[in-house]
Structure 1
Amino acid sequence: MEGSQQPPVGGDTSNATPGIVGCSCLFFIALIVYGVRMYTRIRPTFKLAAPDYFVSAALLCELAVLINLFTAISLGFGHYEYYLSPSTMVKILKHLFALGFAGFWAASLARVSIGSMLLRFEISNTWRVVLRTLIFTQLCLPIVLAVFALLQCRPIRAMWEHVPDAVCWSPRKTQSYGYVYSAIGMLSDLVFAAMPLYFIWSLHRPIMERILISILMTLGTLAAMAEAWIIYYTHVWNPRKNTIRDWMPLFWWYRVEEIGLITAACTPFLKPLVECILGRFGASRFRFMTMQLNTIYSVEGDAPEGFTKMGSSKQSTNGDQNLIKQNPGQPTDRASSDRFDRASDEMKLQREQDCVEV
């Protein structure tokens, strides 16, 4: 790459400062939220599962990304090439090339953590198929992208230095793969954000609690917004242009996406902390809503005196058996329906318990 012969207007300035401040703050918030998640998963009992390990791996990958990016910035990334020597340019491009591999895994592993966490809920088989498909796609995507990155130029060192007779992909072909990657990521983020709303509002929980859980579990939409900006900057980005200063916004929006996904994977575990804070301001604690179980007496209106409709399932079962014995010729459809209703109620309670644990 050859720098411009005339000094640029404005002198030797950098456009990296706003991104450094913004992404550093986001990463600090992500570290705090991640720490809260790990604390709640370890104390008082150790209950780490696959989603926790996935998000931990994503955080390590993001740390590697930021180290490479900040190193490139310290070398001069964000400045005009007019002020950068060829040897410095090679070092910068090497760091930018390396951070891409870790960045792919940071975003994908964070999405896998969110998807595997959602699989713990009592959901339909259709939703399970959708989640498993998206998780499998996110595990394969970084591998495919790594292969594409290694095939962009032959020889590969042409990615960071001038090589005579090197063969590289056209900018349009490179952009097309960027569009596909961003579209898949945006689709996954929207599904992971919309799916919790589908069953959270069917739970027998206070409205304020359902609103809180919905907000905490749909922060992945912020990553989808970042994807929209990534698509825009991918459209105007030309990897063969002489100046790398114009690349800076695209790199920062990728970081916003990755850090946002890591934060979104951990925010549901802030629920006990937020509940405690709200309690200090006078809000009532979130509790299971009392729900009335259906019994055969609720429709006949001839329940024996002293019989409680909210009694245990054992009492209801004994009542069903006594009724059947007293009326051997009567169909048992109503008793069967009663047992089915109780099973359905128990399933809803199990779903609510899963939500509380998360």
Structure 2
Amino acid sequence: MKEQIFARPETGDTNRGWAVLAVCWAFVACAFISTVLRVWVRVRLTRNMGPDDFNMIAAMTTTLIGVGLITTEVINGLGRHEYCLTPSQRRNTKIIGWVDWMQTFITLMLTKTSICLFLLRIVDSRKIKIAIYALIGCLITFTTICVCLFLGVCRPLKAYWDVGVDGICLSDHQLESVVLAQGILSIISDLICAAFPVLFLRNLQIKMRTKVALCVLMGLGVITAACCTVRTVLSGAITDPDITWAIIPNVGWRLPEVNIGIVCANAPILRPLYLYFQGRLQTQKASSTAISKERMAPNNVNWSDSTKLQDSLEWNGLGESHSSADHRVSLEMGLPRHWVNKEQV
């Protein structure tokens, strides 16, 4: 790669990197907490850890690697003008940024695959299952292609970041096209995953309020799609000569896309946690009310009805299931009945 001559920036040696880093850690913290809660729900409450959970753990792991990469980039000059950086800093940010893009592709793929695997646990329509498997195949295939293209960005690879090495590299247009194509696929897959729940939840025998709540929880992917749309529009910065400065808006939207995606993917699985605490609070309230009434009432009053009412509290929030699909949704989105019975004994 040929050495470039950078013009003196009018803004001087301004550093926007630390602001991006603060946003980065804030979003990663939210994603990490939601993932920990997800695992706790699946291990302690519903007791049904599955491939979707392991996929999400993998996505969270790569996200933590990503925040480490972003932190290292900021230390080496991300958020400052290339003119103000030393040759060593330019080289380091080039290498780390290259790795970070591949990490982003892989994390997004793992997150969306986790969502698809979760949907497979609760749908019974053969056509929808085939569509979900096809989507998983597209995500894995296209992500593999994008990563391979980045791995082969230059021949030899060292020419991508070392100005002293000559090589054959992808053109700026080709590199930008890879990022744009990945962004478009990501937007489409987010919208598809958000639309799937409507297809199979509409016929379930559950309360309308619960049905709407589940559709909203499982359709939060539209937020990720919105972030991805902005990030894709800003992808041209990847070929800007002053990339450490110009890429900041793109990074600023890429971080929410990845981490909000994880939070949104975890949200439906966390519903049992809400029902657990809601059920416990309701039970404690019912118990306290019964005790208070018993203390205030004459000795000949029988409060067995209150006890029966307490014992019959529905913690799963889904009512009676009338199909196998209803049962699966009850298991995945609410507390399983064997757990409820065990707690209420």
TM-score, normalised relative to structure 2: 0.79
How many angstroms apart in 1 are the aligned matches of 2:54 and 2:130?
22
Instruction: Give per-residue Cα distances to partners, 1:184-243, cap 9 Å, x unaligned.
Output: 111111111111122223222223322222222112111111111122112x32525244
Matched letter for residue 249 of structure 2? P
What's the CA shift string for 1:106-157, capped at 9, x where partnerless? Answer: 1101111110110011332211111001111222233211210122222211
Tell me which amino acid in the other structure corresponds to 1:171.
D
Deviation for aligned residue 1:277: 6.2
> Percent of pairs identical after alignment?
22
Query: Residue 120 of structure 1: SS of its match in structure 2?
Result: helix
- Distance across 2 between alignment mates of 1:194 and 1:5: 48
Distance 1:18 1:95, change over 3 A: same
The question of whether the paired residues in 2 share the 8 Å contact of 1:157 and 1:163 is answered with: no
Alignment of 1:219-234 (within 5 A): 219-234=220-235
Q: Is 1:356 paired with 2:312?
A: no
The equivalent residue for 1:2 is: 4
Moved more, 346-355 or 94-103: 346-355
For the pair shown, which has the larger CA radius of gyration, 1 or 2? 1
Q: Which amino acid in structure 2 is aligned with residue 123 of structure 1?
A: D
- 2:108 corresponds to which residue? 107
| 1:68 alignment partner in structure 2 | 69
Is residue 214 from structure 1 mapped to residue 215 from structure 2 by the alignment? yes
**Cα 1:177/1:123, change in 2 over 3 Å:** same
Decide whether the 8 Å contact of 2:272 with 2:334 is kept in 1: no
Which of 194-203 and 239-248 deviates more?
239-248
Matches within 5 A, 1:1-358: 1-6=3-8, 8-44=9-45, 46-163=47-164, 165-234=166-235, 236-239=236-239, 241-275=241-275, 287-289=317-319, 345-347=322-324, 349-357=326-334
The farther-off stretch of 175-184 and 41-50 is: 41-50
* In 1, Cα distance between equivalents of 2:110 and 2:175: 23
Q: What amino acid is the match of 1:2? A: Q
Secondary structure of residue in 1 paired with 2:247: helix
> Is the 1:36–1:269 Cα contact (8 Å) retained in structure 2?
no
Native 8 Å contact 1:203 1:351 kept in 2 = no
CA distance in 2, matches of 1:346, 1:150: 48
Q: How many Å separate the matches in 2 of 1:208 and 1:273? A: 18
1:91 Cα offset (Å) = 1.3
Whether the 8 Å CA contact 2:155–2:167 is kept in 1: the answer is yes
TM-score (norm 1): 0.77
SS of alignment partner, residue 122 of structure 2: coil
* Compared CA separation, residues 213 and 346, structure 1 to 2 (3 A): closer
Q: CA-to-partner distance for each residue in 1:74-110, whole Å, 9 max, x for gaps? A: 1111111221111111111111112222222111011
Retained in 1: the 8 A contact 2:176–2:239?
no
- Cα deviation, 1:298-353, whole Å, max 9, x if unaligned, reads xxxxxxxxxxxxxxxxxxxxxxxxxxxxxxxxxxxxxxxxxxxxxxx434543443
Q: Distance in 1 between matches of 2:257 and 2:82?
A: 27
CA distance 1:288–1:100, shift in 2 (3 Å) = closer
Alpha-carbon shift at residue 38 of structure 1 (Å): 0.6
Range that drifts further, 159-168 or 136-145: 159-168
Aligned-residue RMSD, C-alpha: 2.6
Output the amino acid matched with 1:72: E
Q: Could you tell me how far apart the structure 1 residues matched to 2:316 and 2:64 are?
A: 36
Is contact 1:34–1:263 with CA below 8 Å preserved after alignment?
A: yes
CA distance in 2, matches of 1:155, 1:18: 35
Q: Secondary structure in 1 aligned to 2:129?
A: helix
> C-alpha distance in 2, partners of 1:43/1:243?
46
Change in Cα spacing, 1:207 to 1:21, as seen in structure 2 (3 Å) is: farther
Residue segments in structure 1 that go unaligned for 5+ positions in a row: 292-344
Q: Given that residues 13 and 81 in structure 2 are in contact (C-alpha distance below 8 angstroms), is that contact kept between their aligned partners in structure 1?
A: yes
Task: Please give the alpha-carbon distance, in whole angstroms, between the structure 2 residues aligned to 1:72 and 1:143.
Answer: 24
Counterparts of 2:103 and 2:21, CA distance in 1: 18
Gaps of 5+ in 2: 286-313, 336-345
Asked if 2 retains the 8 angstrom alpha-carbon contact of 1:3 and 1:81, the reply is no
Show the counterpart of 1:342: none
In 1, Cα distance between equivalents of 2:159 and 2:98: 11
Quickly say closer, same or farther: Cα 1:95–1:185, change in 2 above 3 A.
same
- The answer (yes or no) to whether the contact 2:80–2:245 under 8 Å persists in 1 is yes
Cα distance, 1:181 vs structure 2: 1.0
- Describe the shift of the 1:130–1:51 C-alpha distance in structure 2 as closer, same or farther (beyond 3 A): same
Name the one with the larger helix percent: 2
